[in-house]
C-alpha cells in the first residue's frame, strides 16, 4: 500500500505538470478559437459571447483555474466541433480505442515474447537469424504501412477480412455496457456479433502490434541470450534438469523484466499512436477524435484527450512496477530497504 500511495502521489504531480503544459500550449497557439469554432460568417456578438464563456480574454492563469475547476468534476467544457460535452465525446470514443489496444496488446505480448524466447534459446542458429531480420523490418516499418498492406492483401485481393468499421452497418450493436463491442456482445450472449467484432478487430490490432511486437522480441531475445551464459543456468544443467524446465521455470522469468517494462509503455502508446490506423480502417476511436480536435483547434477536446492519455500512462506504469516487483524479489527487497 505504501508503494502504491507513493506512486499515486508522484502521478498527481506529473498530471498537474502535464495539464499546465498542454493548457499553455493550447492557449498560446495563434488564432482566435471562438472565431474558428463559429466560422468567418458568424456575427461578432456570437463570437464575443463564446469568448466570454471560454474566458479567453482573462489572463491564462484565470483560464487554467476555470478549466481545472471543471475538470475536477468531470467537466472539460464543450467541444467546438461536435457541439457536445467533451466528457460525452470521450465516453463515446474511448472504448473503441481501448478495445483495439487490448487486442493489439494481447497479440503484441504473446507473439513478441514467444518469438524472442525461441530466438534467444536457439541463438546464432537459422531460426534466431530469421527472427532478428523480421524484428528489424517490423521496427523500422510504421504501423500505417502494415495497415495499408493488410487492407490491400486481406481486404481487397483475398477478400477474407473486413477493413471498415467495428461491425457491419446492417447489424445492430449490442446493449452498451462498456462500449467495447466484443465484450458487450459476449456478456449479452450474442456470440455471433462477438465473432463479427473480432473479425473487424483483427487487421487494425495486428497493424498496431507489429512494431512493438518486433521490439519486444528483440529485447526478450537479447536478455535471454545473455542469461544463458549465467552461472545459475550452467549449475541447473549440471544438476540434470530438463532443458524445458530450465527455460520456462528459471530462465524465462528473469528475462521478461525488461520486456514487460517496454511492453507497458508500448501498450499505453498504442492508443495515442493509432490515429492513422484508425483513419485507414475508419475506426471511431479517441485517437482519430483527438487528431480532428488538433486540426480544428478544438482546445477543450485537445487538452482533455492528452490528459486521458497521461492518466493511462500513469496507471500502466504503476501496474508495471507491481508486476516487475513480483517477477524479481530483489526489486521488492530494494524498495523496502530504501524505505
Residue-range domains of the chain with CATH: 34-73 (no CATH), 86-295 (1.10.3720.10)
* Nearest residue to 270 (alpha-carbon basis) of 216, 325, 219, 200: 216
Phi, psi (deg, nearest 5) at residue 4: -65, -45
Better-scored residue on pLDDT, 11 or 204: 204
- What's the chain's average pLDDT? 82
* Other Cβ atoms within 10 Å of 153 Cβ, number: 13
**pLDDT for res 333:** 53
Mean pLDDT lowest among 21-35, 155-169, 177-191: 21-35
Confidence of residue 198 (pLDDT cuts 50, 70, 90): very high
Mean pLDDT lowest among 24-28, 124-128, 146-150, 188-192: 24-28
**pLDDT for res 336:** 52
pLDDT tens sequence across 204-261: 999 998 888 888 888 888 888 787 777 777 787 787 777 777 777 777 777 777 787 7
Better-scored residue on pLDDT, 79 or 202: 202
DSSP SS3 for 85: strand
- Residues 6 or more apart whose CB falls under 8 angstroms from that of 233 comprise 227, 246, 250, 251
pLDDT > 70? residue 37: no
Helices (H), the chain: 2-28, 33-38, 44-53, 60-72, 86-121, 126-140, 143-150, 181-187, 191-227, 231-238, 243-245, 252-272, 275-280, 286-295, 299-327, 329-338
* Nearest residue to 49 (alpha-carbon basis) of 64, 59, 38: 38
* Nearest residue to 137 (alpha-carbon basis) of 16, 38, 218: 218
* Nearest residue to 136 (alpha-carbon basis) of 233, 187, 200, 211: 211
CA end-to-end span of the chain = 13
DSSP structural state of residue 175? P
Whether the CB-CB separation of 256 and 327 falls below 8 Å is answered with: yes
Confidence of residue 159 (pLDDT cuts 50, 70, 90): confident
Amino acid at each position: 500500500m505504501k508503494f502504491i500511495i507513493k506512486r499515486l502521489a508522484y502521478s498527481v504531480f506529473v498530471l498537474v505538470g502535464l495539464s499546465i503544459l498542454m493548457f499553455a500550449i493550447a492557449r498560446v497557439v495563434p488564432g482566435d478559437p471562438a472565431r474558428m469554432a463559429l466560422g468567418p460568417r458568424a456575427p461578432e456578438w456570437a463570437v464575443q459571447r463564446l469568448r466570454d464563456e471560454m474566458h479567453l480574454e482573462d489572463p491564462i492563469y484565470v483560464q487554467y483555474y476555470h478549466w481545472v475547476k471543471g475538470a475536477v468534476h468531470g467537466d472539460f467544457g464543450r467541444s467546438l466541433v461536435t457541439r457536445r460535452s467533451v466528457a460525452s465525446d470521450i465516453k463515446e470514443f474511448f472504448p473503441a480505442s481501448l478495445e483495439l489496444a487490448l487486442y493489439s496488446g494481447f497479440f503484441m505480448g504473446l507473439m513478441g515474447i514467444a518469438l524472442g524466447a525461441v530466438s534467444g534459446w536457439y541463438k546464432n542458429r537459422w531460426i534466431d537469424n530469421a527472427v532478428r531480420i523480421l524484428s528489424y523490418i517490423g521496427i523500422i516499418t510504421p504501423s500505417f504501412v502494415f495497415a495499408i498492406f493488410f487492407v490491400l492483401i486481406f481486404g481487397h485481393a483475398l477478400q477474407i477480412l473486413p477493413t471498415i468499421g467495428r461491425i457491419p452497418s446492417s447489424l445492430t450493436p449490442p446493449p452498451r455496457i462498456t462500449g467495447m463491442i466484443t465484450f458487450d456482445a459476449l456478456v449479452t450472449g450474442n456470440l455471433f456479433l462477438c465473432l463479427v467484432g473480432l473479425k473487424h478487430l483483427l487487421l487494425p490490432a495486428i497493424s498496431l502490434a507489429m512494431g512493438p511486437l518486433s521490439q519486444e522480441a528483440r529485447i526478450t531475445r537479447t536478455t535471454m541470450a545473455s542469461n544463458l551464459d549465467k552461472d545459475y543456468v550452467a549449475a541447473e544443467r549440471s544438476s540434470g534438469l530438463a532443458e524445458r524446465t530450465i527455460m520456462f521455470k528459471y530462465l524465462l522469468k528473469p528475462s521478461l523484466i525488461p520486456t514487460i517494462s517496454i511492453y507497458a509503455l508500448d501498450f499505453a502508446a498504442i492508443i495515442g499512436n493509432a490515429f492513422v490506423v484508425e483513419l485507414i480502417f475508419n475506426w471511431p476511436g479517441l485517437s482519430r477524435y483527438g487528431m480532428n480536435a488538433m486540426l480544428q483547434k478544438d482546445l477543450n477536446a485537445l487538452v482533455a484527450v492528452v490528459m486521458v492519455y497521461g492518466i493511462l500512462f500513469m496507471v500502466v506504469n504503476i501496474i508495471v512496477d507491481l508486476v516487475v516487483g513480483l517477477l524479481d524479489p530483489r526489486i521488492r527487497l530494494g524498495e523496502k530497504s530504501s524505505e
